[in-house]
Amino acid sequence: MAKPDILNAEGEHVPPVPTVAELLAQSRQAHLQYRAAAGTVDRTGKILKPYDGAKATPAVEEALAKRLHAHDLDPEHADPAWGNDGAIEHAVLVRFYQSWLQRP
């Protein structure tokens, strides 16, 4: 279902606030983009798929931003979408993204 158009006092379009579920889904999608760009190696160290930092870094930035936005909207994690968010806790993912972005 499409969200209704919202106009401010000047008649300008105001984008609707995304839901927690939408933000978490967008964060998961960005995480999958990171995983696809992260590259892979086999057990011997042979590169099967090279790392693509030009795609991985923005994907991690987006995953973190969407997740933090969802948390800002619902800091108590009362929305049922948090329960469908996967096996890894929110705080663990946030720390992972933050540490990944701070690496050299």
Q: How far is CA 43 from CA 40, 46, 48, 50, in A?
A: 10, 7, 10, 15
pLDDT tens for the chain, residues 1 to 104: 556 667 778 888 877 889 999 999 999 999 999 999 999 999 998 999 999 999 999 999 999 999 999 999 999 999 999 998 877 899 999 999 999 999 87
Task: Please give the helix or strand (H or E) that residue 40 lies within, else none.
Answer: strand 40-41
Q: What ranges do the domains of the chain cover?
A: 18-102
pLDDT value at position 103? 85
pLDDT value at position 88? 85
User: Which pTM value belongs to this model?
Assistant: 0.81
